[in-house]
Amino acid sequence: MDTISLFPNRKGSSAALNQASQTKSLLNFSHSQLKPGQVALIGAGPGDAELLTLKALSYLQQADVVLYDYLVSDEIMALIPNDTILVCVGKKAGHHSVPQHKTNQLLVDFAQQGYKVARIKGGDPFMFGRGGEELEVLADAGIGFEVIPGITAAAGATAYAGIPLTHRDYAQSAMFITGHLKSEDDQMEWSTLARGHQTLVIYMGLMKSSYIQQQLIEHGRATNTPIAIIERGTQAKQKVLIGTLSELTSLAEYAQSPSLIVIGEVVNLSSKLSWFGSQVPQQNSTQPIAI
């Protein structure tokens, strides 16, 4: 009968020592260099600073100038050296917002002046983050750039809430959409989004929660489909609201941005798999009570 003691002990082996040495080297040194006049488009991930890639951290510490959004957590901003020029170009309801064309111009101007420029965005810069638009402007201006991906909120926030995006018993696919919808010019394929046995993840959907709920139910999604709203996913203040699709509108009243809406049977697994933060169930369509 096999036991742990029968397996080879790699302690002290040259292979194990070599791997440990390589790991230490990765943690303390990066071969990648951000060059003067170059822009690094960096994904900050959903907020937990430990989810940053090594390359993202290295470039943040090399940059002369960092342009950042409101979604970049304070913990990540604290990793940037004190002598770095910080420029907030965020967009947030109720706050001063920098127009996109101004952000584009700042990137070009700083790069053309020879600065090492980092543009950091919450989550992944190519996932509903206008990263592609900003790079187009840089490409047209002949400015060199790199893209450092980040963990998108759909992957990070659900993982910290104990909600698998896919599961053989509940969801064979996952779809990501933005909640910035215009009801008068809605081009969403709601019949596709409302299909069962799939997970629907909605970014920036709080303000349109009533419309989203209405469309999904009208196109066939069951009213008792489990849902979760994950507020500040992966961060110390993470909060998870649990309910059903019929309660989406009322549940959204107790959440604040940034929040992610998750719809699908996989949400039922959160009570079993949740390991981080707290969850708040919806109780008889009244104010949620923390547990």
**Structure-token match 């960096």, residue found:** 42
**Residues 55, 83, 91, 124: which is the catalytic one?**
91
| Active-site position among 11, 24, 55, 69 | 69
Catalytic residue status for 64: no
Q: How far apart are CA 82 and CA 155, in angstroms?
A: 31
- Read off the tokens for 211: 């419309």
Beta-ladder partners of 68: 88, 120
CA pseudo-torsion sign 33, 37, 38, 39:
positive
Active site residue 91: yes
Residues 6+ apart with CB under 8 A from 223: 217, 244, 245, 246
Which residues are known catalytic residues?
69, 91
